[in-house]
Structure 1
Amino acid sequence: MSGYDASVVARVVVGVSGSLGSVAALRWAGALARRLGAELWPVLAWEPPGGDPAGRRSPAAAVPAEEWQRLAGGRLVAVLEEVFGERGPGVPMHALVVRGTPGRALVAVADRENDLLVVGAGRRGLQRAFSGRVCRHCLGHACCPVLAVPPSPLESQLLTVHRRNAWHLPMDTRGL
């Protein structure tokens, strides 16, 4: 963010899905909001399973949109409690649950020039940090600065262990 005056940031908007990448982005966003004295706006975007068109013709359509909204709100609350605990982030927080695709929802919420949009950059490493669709959409459409947070180095190790476990391959636990 060189050349950008961070003192003008009023809101730090962050995408939250519950994934490891979004949890890393939420931690960064909370720390930035505290350092800048800004409000924290965690946003969880949701769509009916299969998207809106599929939702109208699938068995999931029997579940009312209010129920999906409630479930998404519960997920957001669970992630916020996991990351910040009972103390909260230490700054004013305005959590939102928005119906829509994540990229569009985040860009719509972070609609001011003095916002900072924080997103997880995906799990493919630093050389391909902007491979995620949500991250690419935000970088291409946001009217405010976007911070793409790379995944934790432990995430790739966790995925390796998960893959080995799924394929029932032996693991060397001497280094653990």
Structure 2
Amino acid sequence: MSDGARVIVGVNGSLHSLTALHRAAEEARIRRADLVPVLAWTPVGGERNYRARPCPPLLRAWQDLADARMTDALEQAFGGLPVGVPVRPLVVRGDAGAVLTELADRPGDLLVVSAGEQGVRARLRRVLRRSVTRRCLDRARCGVLVVPPSTLHEDLRALHRGIDLRELVSA
């Protein structure tokens, strides 16, 4: 169906990444491109700790968990694989920002990432650790589409904090 065009999207199973996955599927349909959802993972404790104490059975278990997260993300987003677009999911061991920018290496590619979590805590985490989105924007060799959070995210955040949404509507 596609002529080699790809829409590559970072997936981690969060609500933000599922929003980006939906947008990426829409872009892939419009562009008649392959949809390439990518879930990057690293061993618990990081690569350095794993190299110091390798444990192949544990590594296989982490790979299996990453594969299951990808399957779950596609199931949550689309009820399986999206219809009307070729999908080539990838689960790759490595830092998410580096993996995404290395895969999105063609000028015709489109890299889709979530803007991520908003708010004070998220800003503090970004100060302490550079975000995947920022890394992709800095290093990508193709177009990057940053998908903002859905308005549904704020509604869910309000519910989580115990705010009655009916009060917001009547105000």
TM bracket (short chain): 0.7 to 0.9
Note the C-alpha offset of 1:158.
1.6
Which secondary structure does the structure 1 equivalent of 2:7 belong to?
A: strand
Range with greater deviation from structure 2 (62-71 or 31-40): 62-71
- Equivalent AA in structure 2 for residue 142 of structure 1: A
Note the C-alpha offset of 1:85.
1.8
Task: State the identity %.
Answer: 47
- Which stretches in structure 1 are left out of the alignment for 5+ residues? 1-7, 166-170
Note the C-alpha offset of 1:89.
3.7
Cα distance in 2, alignment partners of residues 65 and 80 from structure 1: 23
1:74 matches 2:68: yes
Residue 107 of structure 2 corresponds to 113
Cα distance in 1, alignment partners of residues 118 and 4 from structure 2: 29
Residue 139 of structure 1 corresponds to 137
For the aligned residues, what is the CA RMSD? 2.5
Asked if structure 2 preserves the Cα contact closer than 8 Å seen for 1:111 and 1:143, the reply is: yes
Asked if structure 2 preserves the Cα contact closer than 8 Å seen for 1:123 and 1:156, the reply is: no
Which secondary structure does the structure 2 equivalent of 1:122 belong to?
A: coil
Asked if structure 1 preserves the Cα contact closer than 8 Å seen for 2:74 and 2:80, the reply is: no
**1:67-108 superposed Cα distances (whole Å, 9 cap, x missing partner):** 211110111011112212246242111100010111011011
After TM superposition, which residue ranges in structure 1, 4 or more long, deviate above 2 angstroms? 54-58, 60-64, 86-89, 171-176
Cα distance in 2, alignment partners of residues 103 and 43 from structure 1: 11
Asked if structure 2 preserves the Cα contact closer than 8 Å seen for 1:44 and 1:97, the reply is: yes
Asked if structure 1 preserves the Cα contact closer than 8 Å seen for 2:112 and 2:146, the reply is: yes
- Which stretches in structure 2 are left out of the alignment for 5+ residues? none
Which secondary structure does the structure 2 equivalent of 1:159 belong to?
A: helix
The number of residue pairs the alignment matches comes to 158
- Equivalent AA in structure 2 for residue 122 of structure 1: G
What TM-score does the superposition give when structure 2 sets the normalisation length?
0.82
Residue 5 of structure 1 corresponds to none
Matches within 5 A, 1:14-93: 14-56=9-51, 61=55, 63-86=57-80, 88-93=82-87
